[in-house]
């Protein structure tokens, strides 16, 4: 057929729904994640694991704050965190190389602000 294929599988972490998408031909895929932890769990991390590789961080988001993209991937992987309990990741311009397992993880947010620098603490992921 010669089409482009994208597959996404999510383990059942929190309420991250497993989805399998095929033949999107350079479309996009939305992946949602939600949790029922307490309101201090404002951080959300999105990871991808390609077959035969280790997990890599795509983006870190925090409710009410900026996203932090590791390798300037904001156009490819826009992420939103509009409230404490939910977040979403979009994969744009789908290519076969985008296939893999996508994970979300949540963590409590705690930081100390000292003269324009930030130190993040308590990075325990759930």
CATH of the domain at 79: 2.60.40.10
Residue 115 lies in a domain: no
| Contacts of 95-100 spanning 24+ positions with Cβ under 8 A | 95/4, 95/6, 95/26, 96/4, 96/5, 96/6, 97/50, 98/6, 99/5, 99/6, 99/7, 99/8, 99/50, 99/51, 100/7, 100/8, 100/48, 100/49, 100/50, 100/51, 100/53
Q: Quick check: pTM over 0.85?
A: no
Q: Is residue 32's pLDDT more than 80?
A: yes
Residue 23 lies in a domain: yes
Q: Is residue 96's pLDDT more than 50?
A: yes
**39-62 confidence digits (pLDDT tens):** 778 888 899 998 899 999 999 888
pLDDT score, position 82: 85
Residue 38 lies in a domain: yes
Domain limits at 15? 8-108
Counting the structural domains of the chain, the total is 1
């Amino acid at each position: 057929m010669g089409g482009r294929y994208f597959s996404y599988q999510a383990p059942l972490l929190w309420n991250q729904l497993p989805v399998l998408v095929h033949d999107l031909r350079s479309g996009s895929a939305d992946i949602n994640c939600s949790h029922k932890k307490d309101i201090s769990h404002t951080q959300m991390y999105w990871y991808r694991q390609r077959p035969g590789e280790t997990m890599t961080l795509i983006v870190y988001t925090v409710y009410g704050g900026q996203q932090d993209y590791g390798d300037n991937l904001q156009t490819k992987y826009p992420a939103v965190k509009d409230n404490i309990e939910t977040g979403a990741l979009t994969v744009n311009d789908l290519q076969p190389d985008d296939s893999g397992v996508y994970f979300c993880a949540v963590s409590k947010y705690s930081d100390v602000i000292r003269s324009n620098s930030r130190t993040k603490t308590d990075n325990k992921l759930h």
